[in-house]
Amino acid sequence: MAFLLLGQVALMSTNARQPGSEQSVLRTWIVTVLAPMVNVAGGALSYIKGGVASYVDLRNARQENLDLRERVQQLNDEANTLRERAAEYELLRRQLALPALAEYRQLSANVIARDASLWFRRLTIDRGTVDGVKLSMPVTTSGGIVGRVISVGLKWSVVQVITDKQAGVGAMLQSSRAMGELRGLDNARCEMKNISSSENVQEGESVVTTGLDRIYPKGLLVGVVERVEDDPNAPWHRLIIKPAAPVDRVEHVVVLLVEQRDLKMDENVK
C-alpha cells in the first residue's frame, strides 16, 4: 500500500510542477484508447438524439421558415453595409500603410466528449497532431472563442474552455479599448478584471481578444458584458461576461492553426 501511495505522491508532485501538466504520457495513452470508442458511441447517440429533435423541430418549421426569411433579408442589408465599410477600411489602410490583419488556416472539428467531472471545463475534439493541431492553439466557433488546446494526441485534442476556472484570456472592451484579464466562473460565465472604475462600461458591450496573451490572435470576439458589479471601495470594475460562443453546448468547433511564434511575428510587424 505504501508503495502504491508513494508512487502516486511522486506522480502528483512531478505533474504539479510542470507548467504544461495537462499533457502527460498516462493521459495520452488512456485517452488514445478511450477517445475512438467514445467517438463511435457518441456518434450513435447523437444520431438518435438528432432524429428525435428533427421530429420535434418539424412541428414549428413553417413559422420558423417565415422568421428566417425575414432575418435573411435583414442580414443581406447588413452585409451590404459591412462590405461598403470594408472597402473604405481597405482604402484607408493602404493610404496609411498599415499592415493587414493576419488570417490563419482553420480546421473544423467535432466535439466527442465534454466535462467528465464537476471540477474542470474541458472538451475533447476529434482532431489531433495528425491534422496539424498543436498545444495552445486557439479554438473558436463562428460566434466567438471557445478555448485553447491543452493536451493533444494523434486523433484527439483536449480543449480548456474559457469558462474553466484555470483559463485566462487577454481581453479588451471593443469600444473603449480598455484592457483587462478574463477568467472563468462557475456558471458558464467569465469575469473580467483590471478595468479601471473610471471607465464607462455599458451592459451589452462587446469584448474582444487583445492578442497579448500569445494564444488568441487580436480582435476575436469573446463575449458581451452581461453585468457590471461595482464595489465603491475598489478601483476596478468587475465585469461578468457572457461568452459569445455557446461553450456549454457547442458541438462543432474550428481550430485556428496558429502558433505562438506566428503571433509574436505579428506583434513585431505591428
Contacts of 223 (CB under 8 A, 6+ apart): 144, 190, 206, 207, 241, 242, 243, 244, 245
The three-class DSSP label of residue 125 is strand
* C-alpha cell belonging to residue 90: 481597405
Segment 40 to 99, residues that bind other proteins, using CB under 8 A:
41-42, 45, 49
For other proteins, give the closer residue by CB, 26 or 100. 26
Segment contacting other proteins by CB under 8 A, of 35-43, 53-61, 172-180, 223-231: 35-43
**Cell 459591412, located at residue:** 82
Q: Does 117 bind other proteins (CB under 8 A)?
A: yes
Q: Assess contact for 178 and 172: CB atoms under 8 A.
A: yes
Segment contacting other proteins by CB under 8 A, of 72-80, 136-144, 158-166, 235-243: 158-166
For other proteins, give the closer residue by CB, 124 or 210. 124
Give how many residues touch other proteins by CB under 8 A: 46
Q: Does 234 bind other proteins (CB under 8 A)?
A: no
Going through the chain in order, the beta strands assigned E by DSSP cover 106-114, 122-125, 138-140, 145-152, 157-161, 168-173, 179-184, 190-196, 206-209, 221-230, 236-243, 252-256
Residues at the interface with other proteins (CB under 8 A): 1, 4-5, 8-13, 15-16, 21-22, 24, 26-27, 29-31, 34, 37-38, 41-42, 45, 49, 111-120, 122, 124, 158, 160, 165-166, 183-186
